[in-house]
Amino acid sequence: MSGSKRDWSGNAKRRDGPKPAQKQVVRNAYTPMFELLRNELDEHHDRRERIVKASRDITALSKKIIFSLQRVRKIESQLPANIQAEVDSRLAEISKLLATLAPEIQGINRYRYSRNLMCLEELVEALTFAHYLKTQTLISHAELSPIVEDLTQKGAVTRDGEVMGDASDTAGNAAEPAEAPTTEDLPTISLTEDDYLYGVFDLTGEMMRFATTSTALTGSMASGQAAGAGGDEPRTIVQDMHELGTFFEMLPVGPESRFQWYKKLEVTRQSVRKVETLGYDRIVRGSERPEGWVPDLSTGDQGQRDELE
């Protein structure tokens, strides 16, 4: 219910006479230009909302994949069947979301909305973690980018195997039948180096959690079949964390991403130190610990050093 104007005594004011006629919008040579800018701005906000919504859903599904992978207890070539089924199911959902997201971020829009595409970092984290649990190696950017592109193209294919057209064409009137596009003609999403590196930064945190839980339940540091530098001994996750942390320390930092880079680098250093503490305690004082014991990794560095002394 709309309000009405009142005088000083509280009585509603009445307008005498007819309502004034509304002023017509004055149009001039600049009006079409401003209308075009208005339409472009509205389109930008609508596109951004669609990207944010799809990015939020992809992030949530990627986290669920990571939660499923954290139930793995050892590094081996094949994931348990139930976990692999969960991962495949979530990847199928992500594939459809990537297909709807791809047309929105072609060309310059790929970098224009880069701050709204944090979901790609989460997806990189999930895919690299799954690859590590099966191979005990880090998948490269050149190997991972085609996988994401393939996921995007698979999501654009319907159940009947036909490629979906542009979503904007389905809302209008029926048009003349056109030649169906092939998967090569579909827009894809390519990973940038920043997406890959920041996703691998986050991978170190998941490796630290995996090392903690697997050590507590199996009584030994997680390791694969590959031999380490010393000979027949298999590589452990401590060595992998050492190498990964060392590589990040050696990489140069661009001035435009210095703050975020050093923030993630510090978290990586903490994850490496926690895994080191876990491994050293298992070796140095393992015989003194009860079965299933793991150190309290929530304490600070000083508390960890005091415990080791």
Instruction: List the CATH number of the domain containing 43.
Output: 1.20.58.190
d(CA 161, CA 99): 15
Rounded to 5°, angle at Cα 28 from 23 and 29: 165
- pTM of model > 0.85: no
What's the average model confidence in pLDDT over 213-225?
80
User: Is 172 among the domain residues?
Assistant: no
User: Is 198 among the domain residues?
Assistant: yes
Structure tokens that stand for 119 in this block? 């979901």
**Looking at the chain, how many residues does it have?**
309
More confident residue, 3 or 143: 143
Q: Are 149 and 190 in contact (CB under 8 A)?
A: yes
| Chosen domain end from 191, 225, 252 | 191
Same domain? For 35 and 150 the reply is yes
Q: Which domain holds residue 285?
A: 192-309
Name which of 202, 68, 208, 241 is nearest 124 in CA terms.
202
Please check the confidence at residue 157 and state whether its pLDDT lies above 90: no
Same domain? For 99 and 199 the reply is no
**For 77-86, how does the pLDDT look when each residue is reduced to its tens digit (9 = 90+)?**
889 999 999 9
Task: Indicate the Cα dihedral angle 29, 34, 39, 44, nearest 10°.
Answer: 150
Same domain? For 125 and 255 the reply is no
Q: What is the pLDDT of residue 168?
A: 36
Q: What is the pLDDT of residue 303?
A: 47
Same domain? For 187 and 216 the reply is no
Same domain? For 184 and 210 the reply is no
**For 162-202, how does the pLDDT look when each residue is reduced to its tens digit (9 = 90+)?**
554 443 333 334 334 445 556 567 888 889 999 999 999 99
More confident residue, 167 or 6: 6
User: Is 21 among the domain residues?
Assistant: no
d(CA 182, CA 236): 45
Same domain? For 237 and 281 the reply is yes
More confident residue, 29 or 48: 48
More confident residue, 2 or 192: 192
- Give the DSSP letter of residue 116: G
Bridge partners, 12 (sequence order) = 6
User: Chain-centre distance of CA 117, in angstroms?
Assistant: 8
Q: Are 104 and 165 in contact (CB under 8 A)?
A: no
**For 246-300, how does the pLDDT look when each residue is reduced to its tens digit (9 = 90+)?**
999 998 887 777 888 889 999 999 999 999 988 888 777 666 666 666 666 555 5
Q: Are 144 and 180 in contact (CB under 8 A)?
A: no
User: Is 305 among the domain residues?
Assistant: yes
Same domain? For 64 and 156 the reply is yes
Which pLDDT band, with edges at 50, 70 and 90, does 215 fall under? confident
Which pLDDT band, with edges at 50, 70 and 90, does 309 fall under? very low
Please check the confidence at residue 230 and state whether its pLDDT lies above 60: no
Structure tokens that stand for 116 in this block? 């709204």
Name which of 54, 121, 119, 63 is nearest 87 in CA terms.
63
Same domain? For 104 and 216 the reply is no
d(CA 142, CA 192): 10
User: Is 67 among the domain residues?
Assistant: yes
Same domain? For 44 and 185 the reply is yes
Render 278-303 in DSSP notation, one character per residue.
HHHHHHHSGGGSPTT----TTS-HHH
Please check the confidence at residue 111 and state whether its pLDDT lies above 60: yes
Least confident of 26-35, 152-161, 233-242, 297-306: 297-306
| Chosen domain end from 191, 226, 241 | 191
User: Is 162 among the domain residues?
Assistant: yes
Same domain? For 157 and 240 the reply is no
Calculate the average pLDDT of the chain.
81
Share of the chain above pLDDT 70, in %: 78
Number of domains in the chain: 2
| Chosen domain end from 191, 224, 247 | 191
User: Is 201 among the domain residues?
Assistant: yes
User: Is 6 among the domain residues?
Assistant: no
125 CB contacts (<8 Å, ≥6 apart)? 62, 66, 199, 200, 202, 203, 206
Same domain? For 84 and 124 the reply is yes
Q: What are phi and psi of 69, to 5 degrees?
A: -65, -25
Question: Residues 205-221, buried b or exposed e (16+ Cβ, 10 A)?
Answer: bbbbebbbbbbeeeeeb
Same domain? For 103 and 118 the reply is yes
